[in-house]
């Protein structure tokens, strides 16, 4: 099996070098999974454009989606990264475990979101009428539903890239549950 090394700045295209520099300034480092996108001339820019695009969802809602999708796909890299990011967005360790287990008792709106997301990923885009109704009853809109699908797609890309490359996790690793 081919092993994917983590690309260094001097090994990537000029366009990706500029992105690496911006990541180093903004995040403090180039996450290994982002560096893996740089094997492609355009993928890193494409992914970062998607990830940073406007959304009707709040940061905490996006983290719920990232954690639910990554838990379903057993993506250690994304679970580790998004646990750290979820903490920065105000979630406690206990709440993050509840999100990953899809047993959110601390916020009914986030619970409805998590249940919908889990249904969508488990059923290849389908969700039950109950899941959709709970989502809308808790104040979400049609625009939110579209943005949920975009956020799921974002996370599926990184989950799949990690599954295929197994680059080292450079975030504090989280336990499996």
**Per-residue 3-state assignment (H helix, E strand, C coil) for 114-148:** HHHHHHHHHCCCCCCHHHHHHHHHCCCCHHHHHHH
Residues of the chain with CATH 1.20.1290.10: 59-165
Which of 124, 165, 152 minimizes the C-alpha distance to 67? 152
* Tokens at 149, concatenated: 């699908």
Whether 7 and 39 have beta carbons less than 8 Å apart is answered as yes
- What per-residue confidence (pLDDT) applies to 3? 80
CA dist 157 and 176 (Å) reads 21
CATH topology of domain 59-165: AhpD-like (1.20.1290)
- What per-residue confidence (pLDDT) applies to 45? 98
- What per-residue confidence (pLDDT) applies to 128? 97
* Tokens at 49, concatenated: 């454009």
- What per-residue confidence (pLDDT) applies to 166? 96
Match 């057993």 to its residue by tokens. Answer: 74
Mean pLDDT by 10 residues, the chain (177 residues): 88 97 95 98 97 97 98 98 98 98 97 98 97 98 98 98 97 95
């Amino acid at each position: 099996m081919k092993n994917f090394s983590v690309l260094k700045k001097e090994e990537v295209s000029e366009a990706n070098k500029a992105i690496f520099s911006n990541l180093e300034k903004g995040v403090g480092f180039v996450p290994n999974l982002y560096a893996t996108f740089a094997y492609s001339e355009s993928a890193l820019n494409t992914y970062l454009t998607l990830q940073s695009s406007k959304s009707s969802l709040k940061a905490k809602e996006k983290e719920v989606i990232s954690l639910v999708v990554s838990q379903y796909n057993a993506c250690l890299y994304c679970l580790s990264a998004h646990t750290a990011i979820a903490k920065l967005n105000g979630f406690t360790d206990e709440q993050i475990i509840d999100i990953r287990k899809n047993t959110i008792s601390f916020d009914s709106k986030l619970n409805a979101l998590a249940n919908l997301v889990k249904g969508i990923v488990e059923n290849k885009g389908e969700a039950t009428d109950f899941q959709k109704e709970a989502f809308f009853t808790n104040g979400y809109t049609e625009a939110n539903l579209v943005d949920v699908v975009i956020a799921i797609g974002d996370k599926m890309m990184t989950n799949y890239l990690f599954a295929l490359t197994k680059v080292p996790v450079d975030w504090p690793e989280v336990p499996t549950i």
